Structures are given as C-alpha cells and as structure tokens.
C-alpha cells in the first residue's frame, strides 16, 4: 500500500498538526494547571466530553506526526541507499566506461582542455552528451538552455571534478603526454560532431 499521497497531504499541514498536538497535549495532561485556567476542571458531563474530544485530537495529531516522522526516516534511508548504490555502480564501471569512450565522446571531452574550462556549452539532446551524462563524466549545471538554429538546445555542462584527472590522463595517454597539436587537431577534424561547429558560431553571435 502506497501511503505517499497521504503523507504528501499531511506534510502540507505539519505546522498545524504540531500546534494541535502541542496545545491538546498541554490540556490533556493538565500541564501548568491549564484545565482550571480554561474552565475544564469541572466534572460535568459536558466538560468530560470536551476533554475526551481534546484527548482524541491529541492522539490523532500525534499519530499523523508519527506517520510523517516514519516516512521521513524511511525516505532518508532510501535516498542514502540509492546514493550509495549509484556511487558504487559508478566506481565499479568507471574504468570500463572510460576505455569504451567513442571518438566523438573523446572530442567532446577535449573541448574542456581546448577551452581550459570546467564548464562549457553542449547540446543536451546529443547522443554522445547523453551517454557522458549517464556515465557521470559530465554534470548538468542548469536546466536553462539556449535554442540553436538547428533545433538543438545547448546547456552548461561541467566535467565531473571527481574523475576529471583520470579522464584527462586517459586522453593524454591516447595522444601522448605532449598532446601533439597536429595529431589532436587532425583527430578533432575527423571525429568532431557537426554541432560543435554550430555551437562556436552561436557563441560568437550571442557573445557568450
């Protein structure tokens, strides 16, 4: 049974629930002799009925707060597990993903070296970029993008600083430690996705 819709509703009134729980608790347990001060110390049937209603409100509000607390703890534990599982999967598959980079993906990663930047504009819907994002080589910095004339949307993407050095070391090994300019330029010309040229043109147009 999914209680998420129920807890979503309760969470909208958590402040009210806490106020009801606190105030009815003070009355139910007669803290600070509050019953006498508000006229609930009498033993008439009406007063007993009101006291019973207040006690029920305390129980109900406390039960709702308990549900919210349990849901919060379970959600936090679930999120921590998912984060741990995702990080473990990433670390276990990083080397394999690094060694299986396509030439176009290497060209994209080279852009960070070419521009000497941790963040550059790239098309969010390009297949090479999507794969680099899925493999956590790149990180989306903002959902706000710019539309290019070819229909693609470019956004700011950063290289994952946790593995940046390993990525660049891998690229350096491919081209040699000196990163021979002629070899690199020739590689980029042969494997460069056409949208990288469009991005350079649009950046000049937009002055970004």
Integer angstrom CA distances of residue 138 from 86, 155, 206: 15, 12, 24
Summarised one tens digit per residue, pLDDT across range 131-186 is 999 999 999 998 889 999 888 999 999 999 999 999 999 988 888 766 788 889 99
| pLDDT value at residue 196 | 95
| pLDDT value at residue 1 | 60
Mode of pairing for the β-strands spanning 146-147 and 119-123: unpaired
Summarised one tens digit per residue, pLDDT across range 117-131 is 999 999 999 999 999
> pTM of whole model > 0.75?
no
């Amino acid at each position: 049974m999914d209680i998420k819709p129920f807890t979503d509703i309760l969470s909208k009134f958590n402040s009210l629930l806490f106020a009801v729980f606190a105030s009815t608790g003070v009355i139910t347990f007669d803290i600070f002799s509050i019953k006498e001060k508000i006229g609930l110390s009498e033993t008439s049937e009406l007063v007993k009925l009101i006291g019973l209603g207040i006690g029920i409100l305390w129980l109900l509000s406390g039960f709702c707060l308990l549900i919210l607390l349990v849901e919060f703890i379970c959600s936090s534990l679930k999120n921590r597990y998912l984060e741990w599982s995702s990080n473990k999967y990433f670390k276990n598959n990083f080397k394999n993903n690094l060694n299986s980079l396509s030439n176009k993906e290497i060209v994209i990663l080279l852009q960070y070296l070419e521009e000497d930047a941790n963040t550059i504009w790239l098309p969010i819907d390009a297949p090479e970029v999507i794969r680099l994002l899925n493999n956590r080589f790149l990180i989306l910095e903002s959902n706000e993008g710019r539309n290019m004339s070819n229909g693609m949307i470019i956004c700011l993407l950063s290289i994952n600083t946790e593995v940046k050095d390993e990525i660049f070391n891998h690229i350096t090994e491919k081209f040699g430690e000196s990163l021979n300019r002629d070899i690199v330029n020739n590689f980029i010309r042969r494997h460069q996705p056409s949208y990288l040229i469009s991005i350079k043109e649009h950046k000049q147009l937009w002055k970004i």
